[in-house]
Amino acid sequence: MNVLARLGLPLAAVGIGILVLVAGLAASGYDAFDALGAMGRGAFGSADAVLSGLLPRSVPLILIGLGLGLAFSAGALNIGAEGQFYTGAIAAAWVGGRVVGLPAPVAIPAALGAALAAGALWAGVAVILRRRFGVLEVITTLLLNFVAEALVSWMVQGPMQEARHIYPQSDPVAPSARLPLVPGTRLHLGFGFALVLALLGWVVRNRTLWGLRLRAVGTNPRAAAVAGRVRPARFFAQALVLSGAMAGLSGGVELTGVSYALYQNLSPGYGFSGIAVALLARLDPLATVATGLLFAALEAGAAGMQREAGVPAVAAFVVEAVVILVVLLADVARRRAAPAAAGV
Amino acid sequence: MPPLLQLQSISKRFGPIQALDGASFELDQGEIHALLGENGAGKSTLMRIAYGLEQPDAGAVVIEQVPRRLRNPTAARRLGIGMVHQHFTSIPAFTVAENIALAAGWDPARARLAERVEALAARCGLPLDPQARAGDLSAGLKQRLEILKALAGEARILLLDEPSAVLTPSETREVLALLRQLRDRGVATVLITHKLDEALAVANRITVLRHGRVVFTGTTEGLSAGTLARYMLGEDPPPRPARPRPVPGETVVESRDLAVRRLGPAGSGLRRATLTVAAGEVVGVAAVEGNGQRELLRAVAGLATPSGGHLVCRGTVAFIPEDRSHEGLIGDFTLTENAVLAQGRPAPWLRGTWVDWSLARRRTAALISDFKIQAAGPEAPARTLSGGNQQRLVIALALERNPQILVAENPARGLDLKATAEVLGRLREGAARGLAVLVYASDLDELLEVSDRVVVLANGVLESLPPGADRELIGKTMLAGGAALSP
């Protein structure tokens, strides 16, 4: 019953999202069922579509979603995963380009470690601004996205531009810094990282005192401080930095697992879709894997839809947006219902 | 003469709770009618219906023989009904005149506003300087402002919700005298209270509510406090907690010239407090709201940083915050989660940082039964508990930490007589086992009942009282500070 209730809402939300998409397609003159079929084939049509399309695409979504779930659990509204992803990617490209000759067991951790640290640092800027000057992290993390994107743009046209100085992109990283692939596919080791980190996240969140305190801070910082004797600001900062580290890691994984080189628009908005992934999972790490896969399927499907039926791939974002709105509205409705029952 | 206000067979349900069940009430011209009942008996709900803040599920509101539907307080005010809420609702930065204009919908820019306010004050016989800032008024004068706000316009019916909740005894007497004066000027008053002596002192008639039903209505003559208490409770009042003479142990809390900056938006903060609390004694802090008690208690509890002076606490300090639903518990967490959060470290269910939830659940279940907490089980969300049961849980969690010092901030706030007696009894039991207890209660009767010794905070300065100080002296000191103590 409980499990059904928890699954019911996200499924209903996705159903409503797809209905809206169908209605929109029909209204704008597309053959809606043809388009939906193309979408299904794009996501699940073949083993290759799944292994080389859907699964690799889910990796950054899951990694970012896990980190944001952690931040949101502590009440830290990190809207800057996109920027943290990019700083992670820059760091991985830089380190990955300089580990030539080192064996993979050294080169990969070095590149990913640098990515993780860069993402954490980028989120750390927001923590410092919040602590020292009281600027809300919603604003700073959002604005730091633009800074990070500008930084990438400068890097690929300046200090990190490839050797021939023709294309606005970096040199590819050393072969030893690239994540191993499942032979014959583009599925890389990052997917394994995502699964392991999801499990780890679930255990930390649900089985440790730290996880309980983190959730307490996010649910009610005053009660956490008074009844739980914890310092909310500290948990807030830890959660924000950790979520930045996860987004940075996802940038590093994308770079060393998929693109191998840094260029602009490396992310099709993973940092923002990650917000939806975390919210739809209700911040639960294991559910984040499911919602990450779902969104990857939507986006991979939308790409298929564009190829076969000529529907712009951004249609996937319509579904994502509707899903988020339905989930948020259901939350509001539930909150309205709860106090009415308790108050006298 | 026909009744001014009739509430006929009013029923109102909130979710699973039947707040009112066919309750009827009448208010005659020129009377003070006390509405008595325990917390949760439905008295506030009944008056909120009369003021248009709630709509009844069934029943009728009849004003001067005409049935009315009061959709909102504006409609009630138009029909001559004014309400004074339990807590002050004035804006401190505004003047008296501006506050009244805001409440009455008068144009605050008009030159004649001061005149108009003065006329209102004269009509009611409640003089008040229209230009004074509301924040500068004493509690008694603030209450006067609240009454003027309610009576602005042509109100002839005044609904007064627990006026003594935030007043000292002498201020309460002042307000009761005001009510008599208003009665002589033709204002009929409903006095909502759970204090029997107030009702007996001032009311012409008394109605008692219990569990949403009227169990008694009659004139005050010949009524005794004992009779009323039996009506309110449906049984004899609970016995007072036995109080063994304390054996003063060693001093565990010691402060010298302690100062703490104010925590809220208003109040004096703590300016100077020299205080000791010994193991095995209950020290009560008497103070009017905003005189530094919050800062003192929270400094001892380690939740506020002193800005001056010295403070030493020897041992673990457990704290019971006033606002249990927002600070004492996390409503969306289960009882077990609340227990694990409150216990912190060390805890029997912790292995390093790992929580053994099944052990935590079992211990919480044991706590629930030890403290007779009515809950669906250890996995029930804390918000599903009633106020009394939430407070039992907060106290159980505080004591479970085996503290040497217990700091309790208004621990019986909003609880009914039985739950209050139980909470105060827990504090006494703790002291009997050697706990040092520092307690603040806004209700002076509660404070005197539970404390071995009372200290007073006035304007942030702590005054120790001579042994055997009575409530008159305490009340005076609360208002005047040390000046009341010098001969």
- Kindly report the pTM of this predicted structure: 0.79
Per the CB < 8 A criterion, the answer to whether A92 and A115 are in contact is yes
Per-residue pLDDT, A217: 96
Per-residue pLDDT, A340: 40
Q: Judge: A213–B330 Cβ closer than 8 Å, yes or no.
A: no
Per the CB < 8 A criterion, the answer to whether B423 and B415 are in contact is yes
Per-residue pLDDT, B225: 84
Three-state SS sequence of B5-47:
EEEEEEEEEECCEEEEEEEEEEECCCCEEEEEECCCCCHHHHH
Angle at B204 between CA B202 and CA B207, to 5 degrees: 100
Q: Judge: A212–B340 Cβ closer than 8 Å, yes or no.
A: yes
Per-residue pLDDT, A343: 34
Averaged pLDDT, B101-110: 82
CB atoms within 10 A of CB B312: 11
Per the CB < 8 A criterion, the answer to whether B157 and B165 are in contact is no
Looking at beta carbons, which residues of chain B come within 8 Å of A219?
Answer: 330, 332-333
Question: Nearest C-alpha of chain B: how many angstroms from A81?
Answer: 28
Nearest CA in chain B to A210: B353
Which residues is B454 bridged to in the sheet? B284
Looking at beta carbons, which residues of chain A come within 8 Å of B357?
Answer: 207
pLDDT digits (tens, 9 = 90+) for B138-178: 777 888 888 888 888 778 899 998 877 667 777 788 888 88
Residue of B337 and B41 predicted with greater confidence: B337
pLDDT exceeds 50 at position B213: yes
Check CB contact of A226 with chain B, cutoff 8 Å: yes
Averaged pLDDT, B385-389: 83
Kindly report the average pLDDT of chain B as a whole number: 88
Q: Judge: B303–A225 Cβ closer than 8 Å, yes or no.
A: yes
CA A32 – CA A18 distance, rounded (Å)? 11
Q: pLDDT class for B112, splitting at 50, 70, 90?
A: confident
Per-residue pLDDT, B238: 66
Strands B32-37 and B282-286 come out as unpaired
pLDDT digits (tens, 9 = 90+) for B418-473: 788 889 999 999 999 999 999 999 888 889 889 999 999 998 999 998 877 788 88
Nearest CA in chain A to B349: A209
CA A194 – CA A60 distance, rounded (Å)? 8
Residue of B209 and A317 predicted with greater confidence: B209
CA B204 – CA B195 distance, rounded (Å)? 15
Check CB contact of B376 with chain A, cutoff 8 Å: no
What is the separation of C-alpha A177 from the centre of its chain, rounded to a whole number of angstroms? 22
The answer to whether the bond into B346 is cis (omega within 30° of 0) is: yes
Per-residue pLDDT, B446: 87
Q: In what order do the strands lie in the sheet with B32-37?
A: B81-84, B157-161, B188-193, B32-37, B205-210, B213-219
Contacts 24+ apart (CB under 8 A), A3-7: A6/A282, A6/A287
Q: pLDDT class for B239, splitting at 50, 70, 90?
A: low
**Segments in chain A below pLDDT 50:** 1, 339-344
What count of Cα atoms within 13 Å lies in the side-chain half-sphere of residue A245?
11
Check CB contact of A337 with chain B, cutoff 8 Å: no
Cβ pairs bridging A and B (under 8 Å): 75
Per the CB < 8 A criterion, the answer to whether B63 and B155 are in contact is no
pLDDT exceeds 70 at position B361: yes
pLDDT exceeds 90 at position B242: no
Nearest CA in chain B to A221: B327
Q: Judge: A341–B14 Cβ closer than 8 Å, yes or no.
A: yes
Averaged pLDDT, B364-388: 90
pLDDT exceeds 90 at position B329: yes
Question: Nearest C-alpha of chain B: how many angstroms from A73?
Answer: 13
Looking at beta carbons, which residues of chain B come within 8 Å of A229?
Answer: 302, 344
pLDDT digits (tens, 9 = 90+) for A82-94: 999 999 999 999 9
Secondary structure element (H or E) that encloses residue B173, with its range? helix B169-184
CB atoms within 10 A of CB B100: 27
pLDDT digits (tens, 9 = 90+) for B29-63: 889 999 998 877 888 889 999 999 999 999 999 99
Three-state SS sequence of A26-81:
HHCCCCHHHHHHHHHHHHHCCHHHHHHHHHHHHHHHHHHHHHHHHHHHCCCCCCCH
Check CB contact of B355 with chain A, cutoff 8 Å: yes
Q: Judge: B16–A341 Cβ closer than 8 Å, yes or no.
A: yes
b/e code B140-163 from CB counts within 10 Å (16+ = b): bbbbbbbbbbbbbbebbbbbbbbb
pLDDT digits (tens, 9 = 90+) for A127-167: 999 999 999 999 999 999 999 999 999 999 999 999 999 99
Averaged pLDDT, B213-229: 89
CB atoms within 10 A of CB B299: 25
Question: Nearest C-alpha of chain B: how many angstroms from A221?
Answer: 9
Nearest CA in chain B to A208: B354
ipTM above 0.90, yes or no: no
